[in-house]
Amino acid sequence: MRTSNIIQKTSLSKINYSLIGGFKSMKMIEAVVAKIERDRAVLLLGEERYRVDIPLKFLPDNVKESDVVRLDFVIEREEAREHVKRIKQIIRRLQAR
């Protein structure tokens, strides 16, 4: 990803990136670790504070309650195309039986 391709940026709590050409799209959002219970963490996402439970194994080892973490969501279009291609191949093989 080349940073020179970033064309949109908003507030610190929500940063939206769109890459020229539509190859990748990324959204970052901050969340507060509200509670840690056994093997799960309760996150409050964004300014709206949407509640999300997530397995603790997906967070850094030293995370604790009240920490602010950043979640990055990236659309990987090429990986999606490859995944669809593999599924179609499997379907063709099953239909040929």
* Backbone torsions φ then ψ of 89, nearest 5 degrees: -65, -40
Q: Which of 62, 75, 68 is nearest to 13 (CA)?
A: 68
Contact 13, 30 (CB under 8 A): yes
pLDDT tens digits, one per residue of 1-51: 333 333 333 333 344 444 444 546 788 999 999 999 999 999 999 999 999
Own/partner contacts of 53-60, CB < 8 Å, gap of 24 or more, are 59/33
Handedness of CA 73, 32, 47, 55 (dihedral sign): positive
**Domain locations along the chain:** 3-95
Q: How would residue 75 be classed by pLDDT, with cut points 50, 70 and 90?
A: confident
pTM: 0.59
Cβ distance 18 to 32 under 8 Å?
no
Distance CA 95, CA 86 (A): 14
